[in-house]
Amino acid sequence: MEKEITFASVLENPIYKDRDVLFSLRPPTGFLHRTKQKNELVMELAPILMKSAVSCVFVYGPPGTGKTALLLDLLDELEGEARKRNIELKKAYVNCSENRTETSILLSTLSQVDPEGKYPKMGWNRAKTVDEFSKVLNKKENKNVLVILDEVDYALRESGDDILYRLSRINNQVSANTSTIIISNDVRVSDYIKPKTQSAFGRVKVIFSPYNADELFDIINERVKLALKKDTVSDSVIRKIAEIEAQRGGDARRALELVDACAKAAIARKRTKITIDLVDSADKSLEENSVLNVIASLPKHQKILYYAILKNEKEGLEMDGVEIYRKYLELCPSYNVEPLTERRIRSFLVNLSESSLISAEVGWLKSLEKKSRKVSVPLDKALKTKAVKLLRDSI
């Protein structure tokens, strides 16, 4: 029988010292195993302090490898050095998962470079935005502007590479020394960039490779010293967590989330230490909760689409995009919604694939007697059952 937990018992826990340390973007004790990348970035950004624009710099690496955190930390150092030398530097950080078009990226950049101006988040057309962007940068003669585009692959997939082409040519058109850094989780990001843009952009590449098990052990160990109470977690537990996440892709964020899940599991069981037997159960619970949270956050049409896919899988049917769209159309009347176009649904399938809710590969579909992109669901049976119930209850 499961033990009852109270708020008082959780607050009296013998595990946590400072839980926030586990989730801090910037490590309190500095960035481990990233000296090479930091040195490369320092060398590339140093010309800004000589009042010279920097070549467009590409920063690559999978999620959880320290790209954004290290770069933001380094930019604080750069701004500090610029102030010491009376060099005016304006920085604009844009996350392209939220700003996916050239217009929205430029508007976000303008609002940071020219905070006194009034720029809407949307509503301006491309021509007006580009014109205003050029005007603002022409007012900043002998000044320096640094644009950082994070998760740029979202914008490239959705809107093409016009924004990169524009930024690669911008110093021929404006007075301000304008430098650009782009960050991508997708090592294939260059596939979305046309040759004419590639020739001018991204000659400098800084690679953040996945952490291996030994590196993850060091990273977790440093955080645990500050986040958890002394002697609550052993080296063997840390080693196991590091090995699990190293095999999955070397994501330090996920490794630290698993430490937190283990700590919560220990508290729930009224234990004073995190023992190695908790790691597998905490990992399974974390994985399930993560997937279900993603499903719960889907917009209504994507939920209907995913429900159609799960129902087809349960019936043992093989699916391609056309068949999935047909099943989606069949479900829409049940939920009193107007179906979206097939093109829009195809873009939703890309979103589901990016979220790892589906996988798609080209192969022979027996039921359709043709070669096509076969869609499947990479979840175990128990998790699929929970997902179906969640969708039924929430659509």
pLDDT at residue number 65: 96
Half-sphere exposure of residue 341, counting CA atoms within 13 Å on the CB side? 3
Please report where in the chains the tokens 């502007």 appear, as a residue. Answer: 145
Lowest-confidence region among 137-146, 151-160, 175-184, 227-236? 137-146
For 118-187, the three-class secondary structure string (H helix, E strand, C coil) is CCCCCCCCHHHHHHHHHHHHHCCCCCEEEEEEECHHHHHHHHCCHHHHHHHHHHHCCCCEEEEEEEECCC
pLDDT greater than 50 at residue 365:
no
Find, among 357, 224, 215, the residue nearest to 297 by Cα.
357
Residue 12 pLDDT more than 90? no
* Pick from 101-115, 182-196, 275-289, 325-339: least confident: 182-196
pLDDT over 60 (residue 315)? no
Q: In sequence order, which ranges of the chain are alpha helices (DSSP H)?
A: 7-11, 20-23, 35-45, 67-84, 102-113, 126-138, 152-159, 162-169, 195-198, 213-227, 235-248, 252-268, 277-296, 300-314, 321-331, 342-354, 381-394
Catalogue all structural domains in the chain, each as residue range(s) with its CATH number: 7-23+211-295 (1.10.8.60), 35-207 (3.40.50.300), 298-394 (1.10.10.10)
Answer yes or no: is pLDDT of 371 > 60: no
Judge whether 339 and 332 are in contact, CB under 8 Å.
yes
Distance CA 153, CA 146 (A): 19
Query: Nearest to residue 170, comparing CAs of 56, 88, 57?
Result: 56
Which residues are registered as beta bridge partners of 16? 228
Q: What is the overall mean pLDDT for the chain?
A: 88
CA distance 353 to 360: 7
Kindly report which listed range (131-140, 307-316, 359-368, 382-391) carries the lowest average pLDDT score: 359-368
Burial (0-12, 13-18, 19+ Cβ within 10 Å), 297: exposed
Q: How far apart are CA 296 and CA 290, in angstroms?
A: 10
227-236, 246-255, 261-270, 288-297, range with the lowest pLDDT: 288-297
User: What does the DSSP 8-state code read for residue 357?
Assistant: S
Cα 285 from Cα 281, distance rounded (Å): 6
- pLDDT score, position 364: 47
